[in-house]
Structure 1
Amino acid sequence: MIRISVLYLNIILGFIAGKFAKVDNDNMLRFLFFVLSPIVIVKGISSITNFDALILPVIVFTMSCMTCYCINKAKPLFSDKSLNNIISFGTASSNTGHFGLPIALFLLDEHAVSIYILAFSGMTLFENTYGFYVISHGNFPVKYFFKRLLQLPTLYALVLGIIMSGFGIHFSSIYDDFFQHIRSSYIIIGMSSIGFGIARLKSIDFDFAYIMVIMLVKHFIWPLIMLILVYIDIHYFHIFVCDPDAYFVMLLLSVLPVSATTMIMGGLFKYPESKISIIILFNNLMAMVYIPTTIVYVFYPFIKKFIIVID
């Protein structure tokens, strides 16, 4: 738990830099998105040896779509209908990149990171297809969603990594230091970007009902479903029994906070920025405590127990 908590020092540094040094968060995120992220993804995916892991993005995409659909259909439960679509998106989309990937790089070995990267591609697919459709109220043609996908550098990095893995093409060991520096840079900039975002928050509009919905879905329903799926696979399907790293990746993905993409999409379609900001901020702050606590006191004991069962 202490090891994970140390990672959050980067968020504090990001907040200080954003608040007092006025660091340009937008340019940092562009560098992260267009340069560092594709390199990390290519390196990670090219290391995959277990192609059963290809089912993980399908699982993540399906869960995201189902979550978004169910919450969206629950709109009669909430008084402020204007936020329903964006909240539906938020409950189904996790911060797999700026928040989750640095944690994965920090905690996991190269093999497990490659599985994590492959799995979160399902979340990226959701955000740019069905998720975008829900947020935009269905006002865009299908071809627009394909155009969005083709503009994602992470998509090309993912395809290149799969091709390299399939043909057994690997990077020479002389580049190990380079990739290690890239990983370290991604961890620092990725986590610091959360601090930058907190520093830029100008107003607060607290919506208790929607915050509770986000908390319930992200911190209870997602982990519960993933735990059930892991349990079922261990005892019945045995898809990942020989590669337990896949189980930890599934569980890690289930506890990540709301994606920063929710804020970007909200601004694009003129949703109330002050309400969305505080919802995302509150969820990310809670995640700083919730994630290490859940990993240490729930996931690790669960994993140790099923590894014994497997053995």
Structure 2
Amino acid sequence: MQFDLGATLIAPLWMLLAFVGLGWLCARRLAIDPRPIATLLIYIIAPLTFFRGLTLGGPTPTYLLLTLGTFVTASLVCLLVQRLIRPFFPDQEVALLAFSGGTGNTGYFGLPIAMVLLPPEGVTLYLFCLLGITLYEFTVGFYISARGQFSMRQSLVKICRLPLIYAFLAALLTSGMGISIPGPVMNALDVFPASYTLLGMMIIGMTLGRVSIREVDARFIGTCFIVRYGLWPLLVGVSVLVLQASVGIPGELAVALLLIGVVPMAANVVVVAMELSIRPEKGAIAVLLTTLAAPLLIPLYLSGLLWLTGMT
């Protein structure tokens, strides 16, 4: 599998960064409050986007095993990061860093890139890997984030109110019972993936439009970079090598897994921090800087990892 990564990725990467700039402009010039948009993403757009993707992809035991694998991996990384950084940061920042440690911008940022790099069957594999990360965000990750400010009971109640969990179960039920979604309904759902990416990236810029220079925290940002661009590429590179040597995996799946590991910090760090009121400004700065580094680092990392795993 050969890619001219520099030429292939440069346009979608800068397009996504342009969405961030558009969000910043909206916050500065139109004084748009990003909080209602964060709520809209969590409670409406994300659940419908993933319901559509799951029903189109047709969940199978193999696909769901990918979802389980990425969910468990993300949860374990979150708990590891939380344990390692607890002595060095305040509780709210520990919660935010732990949440961000288990995830990356696999949806708003990674999905458009996967659609450029992979054939349709590869995009389906990526989507089910991405689903595991997203389920982590809205279960274990959301709980860890909420525990930085709320009691255990309050945190569990907040998770139970998140519709993405029910959208996942509804898609499994629909597929398992062989229920066909009417064509007009699926056509209506086609607008949500693009809205998911656009608003998810714009909300970073909107949050940054309200940030002052005092919010810049080099120690916080450095920790984010180490986890996102240090731990995750190493983790996925080793995982792909182990899977290739043990069970053997197709090239499309290997690329999907590698892409999961090299995307920048998740925009949902800002979305969830905003929903829970846990320092969204700090999260937005770290997300922006890791995203600005993406046009350089993603082609570099993918080229190196593809070479390491024998795919170039």
The residue identity in structure 1 corresponding to 2:202 is S
Q: 1:169 to 1:26 in 2, by over 3 A?
A: same
1:282–1:99 CA distance, 2 compared to 1 (3 A): same
Write the distance in 1 (CA, Å) between the matches of 2:288 and 2:95.
18
Q: Quick one: distance in 2 between partners of 1:86 and 1:206?
A: 15
Q: Aligned residue for 1:253?
A: 260
User: What's the counterpart of residue 3 of structure 1?
Assistant: 11
**Count of matched residue pairs:** 300
Partner of 2:223: 213
Q: Shift of residue 157 of structure 1?
A: 1.7
147 and 101 in structure 1: CA distance in 2 versus 1, 3 angstrom threshold: farther
Aligned-partner Cα distance in 2 for 1:24–1:269 = 15
Deviations 1:34-71 (A, max 9, x none): 33322221221113354312122322232223223333
- What is the Cα-based RMSD across aligned positions, in Å? 3.5
What is the DSSP-based 3-state SS (H/G/I as helix, E as strand, rest coil) of the residue aligned with 1:204?
A: helix
Counterpart mapping for 1:149-228 below 5 A: 149-171=159-181, 178-228=188-238
Alpha-carbon deviation of 1:233? Answer: 1.5
1:86 aligns with 2:96: yes
* Partners of 2:86 and 2:94 within 8 A in 1: no
Judge conservation of contact 1:128–1:145 (CA < 8 Å) in 2.
no
* Structure 1 segments unaligned to the other structure (5+ residues): none
TM-score by length of 2: 0.77
CA offset digits 1:131-186 (Å, max 9, x no partner): 45544259633x55543333222112212222233344444566675444433333
Q: Quote the sequence identity (%).
A: 23
Aligned counterpart, 2:77: 67
- AA at the equivalent of 1:44: G
CA, structure 1 residues 272+178, in 2 after alignment: closer, same or farther (shift >3 Å)? closer
The answer to which of 54-63 and 173-182 deviates more is: 173-182
* 2:39 aligned residue (20, 30, 35): 30
Name structure 2 gaps, 5 residues minimum: 1-8
Task: Give the aligned residue type for 2:10.
Answer: I
Amino acid in the other structure paired with 1:287: A
Distance 1:235 1:224 in 2: 17
TM-score calculated relative to the size of structure 1: 0.77
Q: Using a 3 Å threshold, how does the CA distance of structure 1 residues 7 and 150 change in structure 2: closer, same or farther? A: same
Q: Flag the 1:158–1:288 CA change in 2: closer, same or farther, 3 A.
A: farther
